[in-house]
Amino acid sequence: MESCNCIEPQWPADELLMKYQYISDFFIALAYFSIPLELIYFVKKSAVFPYRWVLVQFGAFIVLCGATHLINLWTFNMHSRTVAIVMTTAKVLTAVVSCATALMLVHIIPDLLSVKTRELFLKNKAAELDREMGLIRTQEETGRHVRMLTHEIRSTLDRHTILKTTLVELGRTLALEECALWMPTRTGLELQLSYTLRQQNPVGYTVPIQLPVINQVFSSNHAVKISPNCPVARLRPLAGKYMPGEVVAVRVPLLHLSNFQINDWPELSTKRYALMVLMLPSDSARQWHVHELELVEVVADQVAVALSHAAILEESMRARDLLMQQNIALDSARREAETAIRARNDFLAVMNHEMRTPMHAIIALSSLLQETELTPEQRLMVETILKSSNLLATLINDVLDLSRLEDGSLQLQIGTFNLHAVFREVLNLIKPIASVKKLLVALNLAPDLPEYAVGDEKRLMQTLLNVVGNAVKFTKEGNISITGFVAKSESLRDSRAPEFFPVPIENHFYLRVQVRDSGSGISPQDIPNLFTKFAQNQAIALRNSSGSGLGLAICKRFVNLMEGHIWIESEGLGKGCTAIFIVKLGIPEHSNDSNLSFIPKMPVHGQTNFPGLKVLVMDENGVSRSVTKGLLLHLGCDVMTVSSVEECFQVVSHEHQVVFMDVCVPGIDGYEVAVHIHDKFTRRHERPLIVALTGSTDNLTKDNCMRVGMDGVILKPVSLEKMRSVLSDLLEHRVLFESM
């Protein structure tokens, strides 16, 4: 053999080592071939794998490595050149791929690592969200519980039910061991255990209100954790063996009804509080959570509101009951009063007739008896009988009148009457008595007092007569003055009559009458009693046997009916007194006064114009003629002027109603004209009126004028007004003789 190209490997004699290497390489190749297969298989199975390219590379790298090792198997022994080439190729490829892969891994591995980080982050987030959701759920639960509790609490207006329900529902919601309510006592110095959840009838434990723990709770509107050992929390013997549950206390404001003010809500410092104590079950590891505390606070507020509503309701129920009772009482009182009035009216109606009849009989027969022959003793007796029976009759009349007045069944009889005549008549009635007592009576009526008025004449006269009669009665000497005038608004208001508010109205006026006497007077303390029925002044009673004491009361009733006021002023005993009354009277219409004569206020105003009055003016003097013409023209007359007597004769006709002629021209006898006219017009109604205008003021002229039958004489110069009045007088009376 020559030099062959086959490489002769160095074969050690160590064949065992060879064998091991052979086997290892085989297995490595196997693994190297199976790993990519596995990878491919699993990647195919998985849905997501972002790095396929890397896988391919990796696979290629592994395959080639395997191939290399496999080919290595053939190189242990004598191998041909082909094998060597294949081996070399495989090794080269392997080198390339593995370097590429190595380079690629540098990029890929950080990515892969970051994936892991993100996964961790997401896990944390998920955990956090879970936590939050738990919280929200809890809050929602709490809200639901509050609503439910509120509903329960507010569904009733009964105090006890409200409180009981609160405790029960709270206990249920929060799974409490014990829940208690301490209410302040009436004194406000202690808290008394009023309601508990578990115990049926709580014994009246009380604790003083000034404990520091209680103050602490009362001073804040939050639920406060308190120690289980404080007096308010030691409600029952310890149930559990170890730790008592946590205790929370909250204040419940008690809104007292009187604290309600519309403008400002009651201040916190003046409120009274009750204490609500809640205990968690002992031996549980439960703690008060914030949301539970909030629940408690809300419930406490709601309870306060519900309690106040209940209190208002109680109050209004009580008020209503009270009103109903009062109503019933008033009703029965009214019915009693009505019965009494009816009884009285019946009595009066009967007595009216029954009493008057015998009375009249007595009076009539006694007067008849007086007329017969009697001994002086008998006469005295009869007179006394008559006087007494007259008195009795007056008394009966007064009583019946007054009761009718009080009834309100008396009505004024309104009519038009002569006011001045009323005064005069009263004066006439009183004059005889006054003159017997030698009293001067003076009547003074204001000039603006209307002569006629509308009102009740009879009652007004009665009042006036009564008042004046009293004045006369109680005056032993001196004078009496009666004044009557129209009251103006200032004098209407009297300080002694503050409740009298006269209102001036159209068609009405207030008549004020003052009757002053110089008599015995009245002391100021008796004045209020004057108008009360039957209350008689002792002094008066002693002095006079007549007078029932009803007179002034009746006057007062009448005056009140006439919407007025009556009162008496006196400065004291012996100083006289003045009786004053004001009544409202109506003013009569002028249109229906045809049958009444009334004082004409103004002189009858004549015509102001004489349209179409045909007038003839005769005057020689041109100036005065034109002046007179102007005058008459201004008054609307139809004027013709002549300047001479002849002309006058010619022109004058029956159409002319008036002829003015100037008679002061000497030598001209204007009188002729008058005579002529008289002759011409024999019938009176055809003849014009003849008036002489003259400047002379002597009686001779006047007499001459009258003699010749002139109808009037006027003194020159004539003013417009004078001419006007002359013409109107002339036409009205057909004669005018002015005094000169």
Partner 1 sequence: MDVVSQLQKQFIDFSSSLYREGYVDDQFSQLHKLQDESSPDFVVEVASLFFDDAEKLINSMARALEQPCVDFKQVDSHVHQLKGSSSSIGALRVKNVCIAFRSFCDAQNREGCMRCLQQVSHEYTMLKSKLQTLFRMEQQILAAGGSVPLE
Single out the residue of 321, 695, 698, 735 in contact with partner 1 (rule: CB under 8 A).
Answer: 695
Nearer to partner 1, 67 or 615 (CB): 615
Nearer to partner 1, 457 or 662 (CB): 662
Nearer to partner 1, 297 or 619 (CB): 619
> Nearest distance from residue 698's CB to partner 1, in Å?
15
Pairing between β-strand 658-662 and β-strand 712-715 as defined by DSSP bridges: unpaired
101 Cβ contact partners less than 8 Å away, ≥ 6 residues apart = 54, 57, 58, 61
Q: How many residues line the site for partner 1 (CB under 8 A)?
A: 22
> Nearest distance from residue 701's CB to partner 1, in Å?
14
Nearer to partner 1, 389 or 694 (CB): 694
> Nearest distance from residue 606's CB to partner 1, in Å?
17
> Nearest distance from residue 634's CB to partner 1, in Å?
5
> Nearest distance from residue 618's CB to partner 1, in Å?
13
Per CB under 8 A, contacts with partner 1 among 713-732 are 716-717, 719-720
603 Cβ contact partners less than 8 Å away, ≥ 6 residues apart = none
Q: What CA dihedral angle connects 131, 137, 143 and 147, to 10 degrees?
A: -160
Tokens of 492: 């209407």
Judged by CB under 8 A, does residue 634 bind partner 1?
yes
Judged by CB under 8 A, does residue 609 bind partner 1?
no
Give dist(CA 249, CA 234) in Å, integer: 13
Number of CB atoms found within 10 A of residue 698's CB:
10
Residue corresponding to tokens 């519900």:
306
Give dist(CA 466, CA 552) in Å, integer: 7
Measuring CA to CA, how many Å separate 341 from each of 186, 334, 348, 350?
51, 10, 10, 14
Binding segment for partner 1 among 401-409, 552-560, 603-611, 661-669 (CB under 8 A)? Answer: 661-669
> Nearest distance from residue 667's CB to partner 1, in Å?
7
Single out the residue of 21, 120, 622, 703 in contact with partner 1 (rule: CB under 8 A).
Answer: 622
Per CB under 8 A, contacts with partner 1 among 459-498 are none
Single out the residue of 283, 563, 620, 647 in contact with partner 1 (rule: CB under 8 A).
Answer: 620
69 Cβ contact partners less than 8 Å away, ≥ 6 residues apart = 25, 26, 28, 29, 32
Number of CB atoms found within 10 A of residue 553's CB:
21
Judged by CB under 8 A, does residue 667 bind partner 1?
yes
Identify the H or E element spanning 689: strand 689-694
Single out the residue of 536, 624, 704, 728 in contact with partner 1 (rule: CB under 8 A).
Answer: 624
Nearer to partner 1, 233 or 718 (CB): 718
Judged by CB under 8 A, does residue 644 bind partner 1?
no
Single out the residue of 35, 311, 651, 664 in contact with partner 1 (rule: CB under 8 A).
Answer: 664
Judged by CB under 8 A, does residue 621 bind partner 1?
yes
Give dist(CA 149, CA 155) in Å, integer: 10
> Nearest distance from residue 647's CB to partner 1, in Å?
17
Single out the residue of 126, 341, 349, 633 in contact with partner 1 (rule: CB under 8 A).
Answer: 633
Give dist(CA 395, CA 217) in Å, integer: 82
Measuring CA to CA, how many Å separate 405 from each of 88, 108, 454?
155, 126, 21
CB 69 within 8 A of CB 88: no
Judged by CB under 8 A, does residue 524 bind partner 1?
no
Report the interface residues with partner 1, using CB under 8 A.
620-624, 626-628, 630-631, 633-634, 662, 664-667, 695, 716-717, 719-720
